[in-house]
Each structure stands twice: as structure tokens, then as C-alpha cells.
């Protein structure tokens, strides 16, 4: 769990507002977050605190109202649609809560899809997909369709799809979903291993037990970030007025 | 739990002397419960007094091994068969502290909650690191001990989150005159739904 080098993900004073005027909802209000290679950051917070918004901005699936999002030093706001799509395919792995596997494709085809979309040849993409499936413990199951697999196996396929190739940034939104605790833990183990191998990871979760896998835990409340593992408050702060 | 049942369980594996018992105890609890050798011998003396273990002749090195008796085995079986009562556990200092913080003038209760959550979150990270590092099949007993601590820490964080949400809605009744009845926090729609 070493942390070093230029940040893979860098959010700089990011704001995201939905709507305008009195109906405006400030999903994020001035959030800054750097994630280095080899670092896994967990984002916690109550429902509606801005966790998922943060992840969609980091993944280039949405744009900030103000502020900047950089992936490996490249500002997402400066890229055109094609450039953004290419960056997403090559450098960012996304694990969604609802896996988003295509039911008409086999496990290996699902995993190979982002590579093929990126112009990688069918054979090379398949080789990489089978290697990614092996990494998540699904050797020999590449030919199965999602509905022929258990929930845990499907989740592993989704992880393999996020890890395939040389993705440097892995974004996971409640990746353990409705999995039982053992299977959920296996998923986090995989994520941790990939991060230890040099990727940067952001894990959105509402479960403290899962956040325990991270190097750093940040807490979002009403669109504002507080470090949940910051140094302890001083005695003076604790006793400084009621604050409530 | 008592050290006494821990030692009986270890002696059920076979005869051992004091230092061996201490090492085995610490190994089986992943050193989360360090024992000093004095505690081991005091406990062995009590177990001997109660007829649950018996001393064997000293080794040449001067160490005296102990073995479990039939009465000790019965006591151990009873222990394994009896659930632990929550009432037997020590009082929860944290919940008492929070309750006192809320009724002590000038204390920033949310900061107390936040400070505790940070500390517990760090503990949870450390426990998870230990688990991650012990993934061999023979590590299972130790991993389950760690899991117990992980789930306890998680429960504490959930409770702290709950406290914090409740505090947002809480408006203490004015303290004029006799103490007001507690348990009727006012709700401010704006803050609740923010």
C-alpha cells in the first residue's frame, strides 16, 4: 500500500449544480481530491451527499459546473467528445452498482468489448479479456453468458471489464451491491490488488467495512468533503462552544 | 470470556507448560489479547485448585506441564455450549461519554462524534490490512477474530452516523426551571431534508 507519484486523478475545486435559481441543487460544492498511483480512496456519505456525482465527474461521464478534473495530468474539460471517449476507454475502469453486462455477449466478449471499441484486434482483445478473467478467478468461464453465472461471478466479470488492458484509474460505485459478505470481500480484494499493482482507485460506499480497504477515507456531506481519517480534533476544538 | 477457558481450550490440545500456554494463547488471538506470564500461572493455580487441571512432573529444564482433567473438559464443553450474555460485557464507555457530552454545557458533540468516527475508521483500516495480509487457509481462526473486530468497528461507525444524523435534528429544550423532559427533539424540516 505505497503511495507515490503524480496523481492519476485530480479534482480541483469542483462544483456541480443541477438546475438553476431557487430550484438549484448543489451536488458538489468545491471538492478537491487527489488520488495517487497505488492509492485507494473510499468516499463515504449519506444518500444524496454527492458521492455518485463525484464518481461520474471523475469518470468523465458528466462535466463540472466549475473547477477542473484531471486524469493523469490531462484536463477532461479540454478534450472534445472523441478524445474524452478514448480516454475513458483506455485509462478509466468503471464498476457500476448494476453491473451493466450485455446479456447477449459471453463473459469474455463483455470484457473484450471496450478494447475492441478502441480498435484492438479481435484476437488480441480476446487474449486480454481471458487474462483479465483469470485475474478475477474466472479461468475457463469466458464462454458463459451472464445469465449462466452466479451474482458473484457476474460481478467479477464486471470487475474484469474494468481492469482489462492497462487502466490506470478504477472507479467503483458500491461494487459489492447485493453480494453476500464473502463474495463482496473477494471483489474488494481484487480491487485492492489492482491498486497495489499501481492503479489509482476510488471506491464509493456507504459501508464502513468496505471503506476499511482504502488507504484514505473521505466523507461527503451536502456536497462538501471532510477527511474522515483526518488527525483527531484538539481538545480545544472539542470544547469550543456547543457547535450545534 | 475468561483466560481460564482460554487455557482450558489450549490444554485440550495436549499438555503444556506456562510459557507454551502464553505463546499459544497469543497466537490464537492474533496477539490482540497479550497475557503476562504471571496471569498464566495465577490462572493455572486456580484451575488446579478447582480440579480442572492437574500438574505433571517437572521436565528436566524445570518446566512443569499441566494437563486438563475430566472436570476441566466438562467445564470447557459447558463454556462452548453457553452463549455470551451482553450483560456480562463491560459497560460501553463511548455511549456513556456521548450521553454526557450532550448534557454537559460547552461541549461540541458533533466534534466528539467526528473524532471518534475518525479513530474507529482508522482502526477499521488497520484491521482490514491485517486481514489482507493473512490469506492463507491456516490463518482462518485469526481472520475470524479479525472479522469480529471489523464488524464491531463497523457497528460503532453506523451508530456514530446515526448519532450525527440525530444531532442535526436535535434542539435541546430550554434549561430554565426544572429539567425539561428529554426525548422530544424538535424537527426542522429544512435541516432534515437538506
Q: Does A238 have pLDDT greater than 90?
A: no
The total of other beta-carbon atoms located within 10 Å of residue A70's CB is: 19
Chain A and chain B share a number of CB contacts under 8 A equal to 83
**Length reported for chain A:** 244
Please report whether residue A135 resides in a domain: no
Q: Cell for A50? A: 454527492
Residues of chain A found within 8 Å of residue B146, distances taken between Cβ atoms = none
CA R_g for chain B: 24
Domain containing A37 equals 9-99+168-230
Q: Residue A241 is nearest to which of B108, B151, B170, comparing CB atoms?
A: B108
Please report whether residue A71 resides in a domain: yes
Please report whether residue A209 resides in a domain: yes
The conformation of residue A244, written as its DSSP 8-state character, comes to: -
pLDDT in tens, A140-199: 999 999 999 988 889 889 888 988 887 899 999 988 876 777 778 888 888 898 899 899
The conformation of residue B45, written as its DSSP 8-state character, comes to: H
Range with the poorest average pLDDT among B58-62, B115-119, B189-193? B189-193
In a mutational test of the B interface, the residue from A238, A240, A241 whose CB has the highest number of chain B CBs within 10 Å is: A238
Q: Cell for B169? A: 435534528
Closest CA to A129 of A85, A165, A93, A156: A165
Closest CA to A205 of A213, A196, A215: A213
How far, in Å, CA of A122 to CA of A140, rounded? 19
Please report whether residue A132 resides in a domain: no
How far, in Å, CA of A11 to CA of A69, rounded? 5
Quick one: what percent of chain A has pLDDT higher than 90?
Answer: 47
Q: Cell for B91? A: 459497560
CB contact under 8 A, B121 and A189: no
- Judged by a CB distance cut-off of 8 A, whether residue A238 touches chain B is yes
Strands of B30-137 (E only): list them.
Answer: 53-55, 66-68
Q: In Å, what is the CA distance from A219 to each residue of A44, A64, A203, A230, B167?
A: 5, 19, 12, 10, 17
Please report whether residue A80 resides in a domain: yes
End-to-end CA distance of chain B: 45
Residue A227 Cα, gap to closest chain B Cα (Å): 8
Please report whether residue A154 resides in a domain: no
Please report whether residue A55 resides in a domain: yes
Residues of chain B found within 8 Å of residue A237, distances taken between Cβ atoms = 108, 111
Q: Name which residue leads in pLDDT, B178 or A12.
A: A12
In a mutational test of the A interface, the residue from B98, B111, B150, B193 whose CB has the highest number of chain A CBs within 10 Å is: B111
Q: A204 and A173 in contact (C-beta within 8 Å)?
A: yes
pLDDT in tens, B49-93: 999 999 999 888 888 999 999 999 998 888 877 777 666 656 677
How far, in Å, CA of A187 to CA of A232, rounded? 31
Q: B79 and B5 in contact (C-beta within 8 Å)?
A: yes
Helix residue ranges, H only, chain A = 51-58, 81-91, 107-117, 122-135, 151-163, 181-196, 208-211, 235-239
CB contact under 8 A, A242 and B112: no
pLDDT in tens, A197-229: 899 999 999 889 999 999 999 988 888 887 656
The conformation of residue A142, written as its DSSP 8-state character, comes to: T
In chain A, the number of structural domains is 1
CB contact under 8 A, B108 and A242: yes
Q: Residue B124 is nearest to which of A1, A212, A243, comparing CB atoms?
A: A212
CATH number of the domain enclosing A79: 3.40.50.300
Closest CA to B118 of B106, B110, B130: B110
Q: Does B18 have pLDDT greater than 60?
A: yes
Quick one: how far is CA B117 from the chain centroid?
A: 18
Who contacts A213 (Cβ-Cβ below 8 Å, separation ≥6)?
Answer: A40, A42, A188, A191, A192, A203, B125, B128, B132
Q: A188 and A12 in contact (C-beta within 8 Å)?
A: no
Mean pLDDT of the region B143-154: 90
Residue B194, pLDDT score? 34
How far, in Å, CA of A76 to CA of A91, rounded? 12
CB contact under 8 A, B111 and A230: no
CATH architecture of B3-87: Orthogonal Bundle (1.10)
Residue A230 Cα, gap to closest chain B Cα (Å): 7
Q: Residue B118 is nearest to which of A189, A215, A232, comparing CB atoms?
A: A232
Residues of chain A found within 8 Å of residue B112, distances taken between Cβ atoms = 238
CB contact under 8 A, A232 and B115: yes
User: Which 3 state secondary structure label does DSSP give A74?
Assistant: strand
pLDDT in tens, A36-81: 999 999 999 888 888 889 999 999 989 999 999 999 999 999 999 9
DSSP-assigned states of every residue in B48-101: HHTTSEEE-PPPTTS---EEE-HHHHHHHHHHHHSPPPGGGSPP-HHHHHHHHH
Please report whether residue A152 resides in a domain: no
Domain boundaries defined on chain B: 3-87, 90-192
CB contact under 8 A, B108 and A229: no
Amino acid at each position: 500500500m505505497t503511495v507515490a507519484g503524480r496523481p492519476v486523478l485530480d479534482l480541483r475545486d469542483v462544483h456541480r449544480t443541477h438546475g438553476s435559481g431557487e430550484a438549484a441543487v448543489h451536488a458538489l460544492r468545491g471538492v478537491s481530491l487527489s488520488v495517487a498511483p497505488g492509492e485507494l480512496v473510499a468516499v463515504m456519505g449519506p444518500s444524496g451527499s454527492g458521492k455518485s456525482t463525484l464518481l461520474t465527474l471523475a469518470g468523465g461521464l458528466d462535466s463540472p459546473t466549475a473547477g477542473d478534473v484531471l486524469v493523469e495530468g490531462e484536463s477532461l474539460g479540454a478534450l472534445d467528445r472523441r478524445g474524452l471517449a478514448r480516454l475513458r476507454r483506455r485509462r478509466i475502469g468503471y464498476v457500476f452498482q448494476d453491473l451493466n453486462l450485455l446479456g447477449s455477449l459471453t463473459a469474455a466478449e463483455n470484457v473484450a468489448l471496450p478494447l475492441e471499441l478502441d480498435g484492438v484486434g479481435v484476437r488480441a482483445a480476446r487474449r486480454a479479456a481471458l487474462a483479465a478473467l483469470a485475474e478475477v478467478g474466472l479461468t475457463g468461464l469466458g464462454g458463459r453468458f451472464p445469465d449462466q453465472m452466479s451474482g458473484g461471478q457476474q460481478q467479477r466479470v464486471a470487475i474484469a471489464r474494468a481492469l482489462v488492458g492497462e487502466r490506470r484509474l478504477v472507479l467503483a460505485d458500491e461494487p459489492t451491491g447485493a453480494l453476500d459478505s464473502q463474495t463482496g470481500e473477494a471483489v474488494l480484494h481484487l480491487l485492492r490488488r489492482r491498486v497495489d499493482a499501481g492503479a489509482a482507485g476510488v471506491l464509493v460506499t456507504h459501508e464502513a467495512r468496505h471503506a476499511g480497504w482504502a488507504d484514505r477515507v473521505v466523507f461527503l456531506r451536502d456536497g462538501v468533503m471532510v477527511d474522515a481519517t483526518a488527525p483527531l480534533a484538539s481538545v480545544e476544538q472539542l470544547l469550543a462552544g456547543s457547535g450545534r | 470470556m475468561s483466560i481460564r477457558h482460554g487455557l482450558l481450550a489450549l490444554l485440550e490440545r495436549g499438555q503444556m507448560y506456562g510459557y507454551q500456554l502464553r505463546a499459544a494463547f497469543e497466537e490464537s488471538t492474533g496477539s490482540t489479547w497479550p497475557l503476562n506470564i504471571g496471569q498464566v500461572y495465577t490462572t493455572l493455580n486456580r484451575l488446579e485448585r478447582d480440579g480442572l487441571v492437574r500438574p505433571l512432573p517437572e521436565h528436566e529444564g524445570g518446566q512443569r506441564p499441566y494437563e486438563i482433567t475430566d472436570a476441566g473438559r466438562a467445564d470447557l464443553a459447558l463454556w462452548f455450549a453457553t452463549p455470551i450474555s451482553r450483560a456480562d460485557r463491560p459497560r460501553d464507555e463511548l455511549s456513556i461519554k456521548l450521553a454526557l457530552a450532550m448534557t454537559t454545557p460547552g461541549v461540541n458533540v458533533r466534534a466528539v462524534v467526528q473524532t471518534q468516527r475518525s479513530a474507529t475508521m482508522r482502526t477499521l483500516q488497520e484491521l482490514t490490512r491485517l486481514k489482507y495480509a493473512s490469506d492463507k487457509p491456516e490463518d482462518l481462526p485469526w481472520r475470524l477474530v479479525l472479522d469480529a473486530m471489523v464488524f464491531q468497528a463497523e457497528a460503532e461507525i453506523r451508530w456514530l452516523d446515526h448519532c450525527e444524523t440525530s444531532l442535526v435534528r436535535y434542539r435541546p429544550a430550554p434549561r430554565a426551571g426544572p429539567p425539561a423532559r428529554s426525548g422530544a427533539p424538535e424537527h426542522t424540516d429544512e435541516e432534515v431534508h437538506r
